[in-house]
Amino acid sequence: MAKRHYIPVTADVEGVSAASCALIRRAIRTALEAEGMDLRCEVDVNLTDDAGIHEVNLAMRGVDSPTDVLSFPMFDLMPGELPDECDADPATGLIPLGDMCLSMERVAAQAKEYGHSRSRELAYLVVHSVLHLLGYDHLDEGEEKAKMRSREEAIMELLQLSRKKT
């Protein structure tokens, strides 16, 4: 898969491996490709812990609790809608899709809770966040959530990290 996108990953917690950063980048590229985003873009990723994401959640959304992942899209898109070339930053030529913030502490806890690997949980949360950056949402329990879940699972299948069938 071509490394056409700029995906800086910063961590304010210790112990983030090069393999985790590579998985994050691969998950983002796979999700973008699956959604038809063939223009060069930028997605900024911050890895933190529960305290760090709690602080971001409170500052940016007014929500006084930690969460697993936060997504801050640059564009107000509808699912299936993509930015186009005119949205690119003239200085870089990249389309700034937005930012994501992930709690690595929550990744570990949820992987244990759901009985799968940290890699699967990390990739899932990254894919989930990319879909938010591209206009998907799951606030209702109906069609929007079903569409987002379907796209998540299809992309996880491409990553060969789909849920184990029981």
Q: Interhelix angle for 104-114 vs 118-133, to 10°? A: 120
The answer to whether 98 and 72 are in contact (CB under 8 A) is: yes
What does the angle CA 120 – CA 2 – CA 73 come to, to the nearest 5 degrees? Answer: 60
The residue among 96 and 166 whose pLDDT is bigger is: 96
The model's confidence at residue 66, banded by pLDDT at 50, 70 and 90, is very high
Query: For residue range 8-25, what is the model confidence (pLDDT) as tens digits?
Result: 999 999 989 999 999 999
| Bridge partners (DSSP) listed for residue 102 | 47, 69
Distance CA 151, CA 149 (A): 5
| CA 49 – CA 142 distance, rounded (Å) | 31
Q: pLDDT value at position 2?
A: 54
**Strands 95-103 and 69-73: what pairing?**
antiparallel
- The pLDDT, as a whole number, for residue 164 is 62
pLDDT of residue 145: 84
Q: Answer yes or no: is pLDDT of 166 > 50.
A: no
Task: Please say if the pLDDT value at position 1 is more than 60.
Answer: no
Distance CA 135, CA 122 (A): 20
CA distance 100 to 9: 10
pLDDT per residue as tens digits for the range 130-148: 999 999 987 766 788 888 9
Q: Is the pTM of this model over 0.85?
A: yes
- Domain boundaries along the sequence of the chain: 9-158
Instruction: Give the pLDDT confidence of 94-134 residue by residue, as tens digits.
Output: 999 999 999 999 999 999 999 999 999 999 999 999 999 99
**Correct CATH for 9-158 of 3.40.390.30, 2.60.320.10, 3.40.50.300, 1.10.12.10:** 3.40.390.30
d(CA 166, CA 126): 24
